Amino acid sequence: MIRHLPGRAVAGLVLSASALLLLAQPPRAWAQGAHDYPVPSSASEAFSPIREGFTVPLHPRDDLRGPVPIDDWREDRLEAARQTRWSNLPAFFRDAAVRLDSRTYWFDEDDFGYDEPKAFTTGGSLSFESGYLADFFQLRSVLYTTQPLYANADAGQSLNLTWDGDQITTLGQLSGRLLFAGQQVTVGRQLVRTPYINPYDSRMIPITYEGVVLVPEHQGPDETIDYIGAYLSRYKPREQAGFEPLSHGLGVSQDEGVLITGASYHRNGFNIGASNYWIKDTLNTAYGEIDYLLPFGTAGDDGPQLRIGANIQDQRTVGAELIAGAPYETIRRPRASPPAIKASCSRAPCRRSARRRAFRSRSGSVRPTRRRW
């Protein structure tokens, strides 16, 4: 993978593999396969951030609503064996699954005159997901690790290690999920996928969040209505093992979380939706979009397809406006530098580098993105 960004070049190579182990697993029946986001083959599969939905997946690429990954017949075989060989077990144990994912990552960045972080890391995740107890309660957890095989003095800037280049091992997810009245409520540490707050899974470990999330029990590309209501108190950046308040990621010392609301409507190729993110005394971000798949050409047809759409964003400081550069709105860019950067750097190159690193470490938690490389 090679990305060219303003002012720097980044080269990264990611190798991943996974194994799914079900408690009803027959001998030598392993399910393996890549979990990268498939490339859309038509406009009907090119889903926008709102159309992708509001979800709480166990793994960053689970339950994607765009292109359908290649089905592995071994997974169907495992599911059939589980339902026949262990049919008398309680669903909490019968439907439980343990999954091991490995990931190896080479990161090499040239900041054209500034630092040049290089890091070769390996690791992955070990996840557990129980079945539902009385069709009501489920346990979920994921342990992540990233270990350095090679790291230079600036390797911490790769976001694959701590800022001092050390390994990271963390219980990034530990949650309980409740089903009732057609709703799904997840409480604890979890992944959250929305247009602006999402796993941002472009490093060894994704961003995870701590809080309470409400979404519909039944979700998928065929559902007409989708919505979310959530309060996330803390998040875990990719480059550290511990969790911290959402406001700290924006340079605000006051401990504040984010309140998320959103809804969308989908029918006959027409999609419209909006989401809002409010952090007390800090920032409010609103995002809305509308798109339409023009009614010519069909899925699987070799003919042309065309999707048109538009989106809008409004971001502004709120309340006591504690964020650096306040007050501001989307149409104005704050000119003041964060006080911590001014205090810690005296030379101009140092100030520019520190400001760039601060933005890089913060932006993953609030940047809208559908890239999942």
pLDDT in tens, 111-133: 787 889 999 999 999 999 999 99
**Residue 62 pLDDT > 80:** yes
Extract the tokens encoding 105.
Answer: 């990552």
**Residue 28 pLDDT > 80:** no
* Cβ-Cβ contacts under 8 Å for 22 (sequence gap 6 or more): 78, 79, 81, 82, 96, 97
Percent of the chain past pLDDT 70, that is, above it, reads: 75
> What phi and psi values does residue 76 have, to the nearest 5 degrees?
-65, -35
| Cβ atoms 205, 170 nearer than 8 A | yes
pLDDT tens figures, 189-241: 999 999 999 999 999 999 999 999 999 999 877 889 999 999 999 999 999 99
| Cβ atoms 235, 365 nearer than 8 A | yes
Which range is least confidently modeled, 160-174, 238-252, 306-320, 353-367? 353-367
State which H helix or E strand residue 190 sits in. strand 183-190
Stretch 20-46: mean pLDDT, rounded? Answer: 50
pLDDT tens figures, 282-298: 999 999 999 998 877 55
d(CA 100, CA 142): 10
Nearest by Cα to 19 from 8, 32, 3: 32
Alpha-helical runs (H) found in 65-223: 73-85, 91-94
**Residue type present at position 313:** Q
Q: How many CB atoms lie within 10 A of CB 183?
A: 13
- Report pLDDT for 68: 64
- Report pLDDT for 81: 79
| Cβ atoms 40, 50 nearer than 8 A | no
- Report pLDDT for 161: 97
- Superfamily of structural domain 2-23+34-71+96-363: Porin (2.40.160.10)
User: Among positive and negative, which fits the CA dihedral 267, 269, 272, 277?
Assistant: positive
- Report pLDDT for 35: 41
Which range is least confidently modeled, 241-255, 279-293, 352-366? 352-366
pLDDT tens figures, 313-342: 999 999 999 998 899 887 533 344 333 333
Can you tell me which residue has the tokens 């799904």?
184
Percent of the chain past pLDDT 90, that is, above it, reads: 54
Average pLDDT, the chain: 80
DSSP assignment string, 19-50: EEEETTPPTT--EE---SPPPPSSGGG---HH
- Report pLDDT for 40: 77
d(CA 289, CA 308): 11
**Residue 64 pLDDT > 90:** no
